[in-house]
Every structure is written in structure tokens, then in C-alpha cells.
Amino acid sequence: MTAKRPNFLVIVADDLGFSDIGAFGGEIATPNLDRLAMAGLRLTDFHSAPACSPTRAMLMTGTDHHIAGIGTMLEVTVPGFAGAPGYEGYLNDRVVALPELLCDAGYLTLMSGKWHLGDTMARSPWARGFERSFALLPAGGSHYGGGLFSRFATVETLYTEDDRFVEAPEDFYSSDGFTDKLLQYLEERDAGDERPFFAYLPFQAPHWPLQAPDEEIAKYRGRYADGPDALREARLAALKRLGLCPLDVTPHPVAPDGAREWDEMSPEEQAISARAMEVYAAMVTRMDWNIGRVVDYLRGTGELDNTVVIFMSDNGAEGAIVEAMPLAGPAIMEQVRLHYDNSLDNIGRPNSCVWYGPRWAQAATAPSRLHKAFTTEGGIRVVAFITWSGFARQGAIGSAFSTVMDVMPTLLELAGAQHPGKQYMGHDIAPMLGKSLAPYLSGAVDFVHDASAGVGWELFGRRAIRQGDWKALCLPAPYGTGGWQLYDLAADRGEITDLAEARPEKLSELLALWDKYVADNGVILDPLTVFEMEPGLFG
């Protein structure tokens, strides 16, 4: 570790799959991410929340999203949550945010990208510790600027810069525009300002609508003509070859979704599906190019060697079946039909609006089960790496279990800063639940979380609790039994063999931890929260 406090660059991709980038087995061109990942520590057991805003709440506070104000996602909330503590729909005052503490500790705090933690100026990045910020406030929008569906908009103006609402710049494309702003903020630093920086770059890509510049899409023309099952097999083989999953792993079978198999689809249907995946790949490549721009800048200023780079996805790959959404699906589909041109040659352009569906998503989450919005490993085990020359564990693969809540305590330790404990700025706050990764990254220990600790997840009534390699999981039908299932992740990465009947004593231990998780975090378990829909539409 160097004497000078390190800079921090935290990059979040939106709905990126576990095996999408090259360093994690993907065929998508991501040379900049690959160089960073291979130089650092690739994490194979790093976990998020099942969806976007809950993960971002955990990242920004080091505690559970039910405490931080995002107990459920505002866009798909159901009756029974209004006014409940922890379910405000924005980052509340029960927590202190990472940029607030880093700012107090003498860091320059910068953000450019998707916020999704509040839709008013009083709940914007500017109000939570960022000295400079350009932010997309809500869950999403067109990558070319502006909203998608007016009846579902939560804010009239989507973007803020510092303490004012703004429009997207001309010729805006999300990945380019967010990177432009971050580089602007870095370049505008006063020559005499020797403060280290915390730069937060949460991309909107590759969240749907799948949109990318024509020249990027052209690079992938025909690449996915064999369909998602072929891609899944290729990705699994690459993960094994790279040592990122066991050679003898049994992947969870692709979940039935009512769609026809690839060889049963017409050539036209195949072409449209493959084109969506081509655009998705183009979005990832464009994001990687922009990350390269930031890295090149830091290398040019001589700051890269003293910058801790953390990269992660906010959840598993997006697998929303919009047609199956009982609360919003029909209206969304009608909006798309009336206002967007999704003909084959237009897919990916600003006036198109498509997503790629659960089959392509499960190609990216394999060998894990399911995808975003689920508490299965496919929804919460995400691509992540940490790179810095000051760490002993570099150029390697890290298999220790960790979560997004661990980022804040890690950065505070590296910055020489402390969480204030029970109070901040005159009001009570919750403690951090995450653990610092620093001892693990230094090589001092081989774990992050004690094997006896329980870590829980809940969203949309889907539940899970983990202790060591044991995990209890509860999913409503048709994705689960509606009761608790038990899995040994050490032997069963795909969550296939339910051991609930064979190991009732272990399930009882985990359910006691689950009850404690619910009580400690104020989780509401109203029956109305269990609904059979795909909430990936907005997150």
C-alpha cells in the first residue's frame, strides 16, 4: 500500500451478464475491461441484490437496501408499502452515503451516470455528497436521451447536473455522454487541488432498450445466428477453460418460458432475436471503449497506478418477459407498437425499443439458475473485479464470498476514513453490514465473511439466506415450489439438488438466520409482495 491515499474509480454496468466480457468467458470485444480484470482480482462469488436500485442503495451505504429506503423498487411497488420505514423509494436519512463520508475525509467526489436512488433535487447525487455530478435520475430511458413511456415516467426531467435539472446534450448517447462528463470533471480539477478522487461511473448500458451506434452493431452481424443455447455452451466452456467455474459443474437447466426452441422458430424470428443480441453486444463494446478513455486519461496524468478500480454489474443479466407482466405488460407493449419501429433493419436505432429475453440472459448467467429479479445465483452472483497495484492478490481469481455491501467499508478503510457509527449530521443512522475486503485483498486472510454469518436477500417476495456455502431459497411458482429449498453451493453451483428433506436440521439453522434477517432489516413479508411478474422492466 502506498503512503498517498488512493483514488477510487467505481464502475457499474447495468444488467451485464456474468460471462459477457472476455476476461469472464465472453466473445464480446472488451479489451479494456479484459486488461483491467486480468491484472486484478476476478471475483467469482461476488453478490448484488436481485435488481438495480436495491444494489445501488447497498453500494452507496454498505447496508441492506431494506434499511436504506429501497425495500422494493418504486416503479413496481404494490399496496402495503406506502410510508413504511425502508420503503420510501429513495435513499433515506437512516443511512449515510459513501460520497458524503469520502467528501468529509477530503476526497473530491465525482459522479456521472445512472442514479436511481431518488427523483428530486433533495434526493439527487448533489444532495448525497457528490461535489460534481451528471445523473440520470430514474431507472432508465432512451440511450439517446429522454424518456420512453410517458405514462410510466417518475420525473418530468430525467437528468441533473450538480444542483439543477438539465436536458441531455445534443448528439447524446448514454455511454459516451456519461464518460464525457466524468472526463470533463476530472480535467477541470484545479491544478493546486491535490485531493484524491472518488469517481463513480454507473453506466446505463447494457440495460434495455437495446440501442447502439450502427458502426458498433455491424461488428456483430451474424455472430449470434446459432441462437442462445449455442452461446450458452460456448460461454460455459470458456468459463471452465479460464478456471472461473469447476470443470465438473452441472449447469441449471434453462427455465421454461413458453417460447419456442430456436430450431422451431422461423428464419425471420431467429433474425430478429439474433439482431437484439447483436445490439446488446455492441452496447457492451461501446461501454468498454469508453472505459478505455477513462483509463487512458488516468494513465496520461500518472494517476492510474494509484487508483483502485472496482468494476461490477448491478445484478444478473436482464431476462424480463415483458409480455408476461400482469401489472404493466399490456400497456407497455401497446406503447411500443404505437411509437417504435422494431423492424429488423431498425433494431438498435433511437426509435427502436427491444430487449433480448430470458434465453439470451441465461446464456450469460450459466451455470447459475435464472437471471435478474430472482434471488437465485443467476440473479445475484455478478461479474466483478478489483484492480490496484497496492493489493497482494492481483492477477488472480478470488473465490471468497462477498457482496456489494462490502465496497463501502473497503473504500473507507483504504481512505483512512471511518463510518460515524450511530449518528451523522444530527440524526440517527444505521451501521454498515458489509465487511472490508482489504484484509482479503492484502492476502492476510482467505475469507471476507465469517462462515457462521447469515446474509439474506429479499425482493418481490423472492427470498434467500446464505451461511457459508449453504443457501436456502424460496421462490413462488412457477419458478419454485413456494416453499423453502436448500442447496450446497460448494457442490451444486446450479442450485439443482434440493436438500431440504435430506438435511432438515441445516434448513432449520438457515431459517433461524432468515427470521433474524427479516427482523434486523425491517423486511415486509406481506402476501401482496409475492407476485408473479418480471420486474426487470424498469430496474
Q: Tell me which residue has cell 446464505.
A: 466
C-alpha cell at 416: 483512512
For residue 287, which amino acid is it? M
C-alpha cell at 356: 433480448
Under 8 Å between Cβ of 10 and 36 = no
DSSP string, 21-58: SGGGT--S--HHHHHHHHHSEEESSEE--SSHHHHHHH
Pairing state of beta strands 484-488 and 455-459? Answer: unpaired
How far is it, in rounded angstroms, from Cα 137 to Cα 127? 13
Is 427 known to be catalytic?
A: no
3-class secondary-structure state, position 166 = strand
Tell me if the bond preceding 367 is cis, omega within 30° of 0.
Answer: yes
Spot the catalytic one: 52, 245, 353, 474. Answer: 52
**Nearest residue to 270 via CA among 229, 219, 235, 232:** 229
Under 8 Å between Cβ of 349 and 233 = no
Is 52 known to be catalytic?
A: yes
C-alpha cell at 412: 473507507
Cβ atoms within 10 Å of 477's Cβ, excluding its own: 8
Please name the residues in contact with 358: beta carbons below 8 A apart, sequence gap of 6 or more: 255, 257, 259, 319, 320, 321, 371
Helix, strand, coil % over all residues of the chain, rounded to 5:
35, 15, 50
List, in sequence order, every residue forming a beta bridge with 113; answer none if it has no partner: 135
Spot the catalytic one: 116, 143, 371, 419. Answer: 116
How far is it, in rounded angstroms, from Cα 245 to Cα 169? 43
Q: Which residues are catalytic?
A: 52, 116
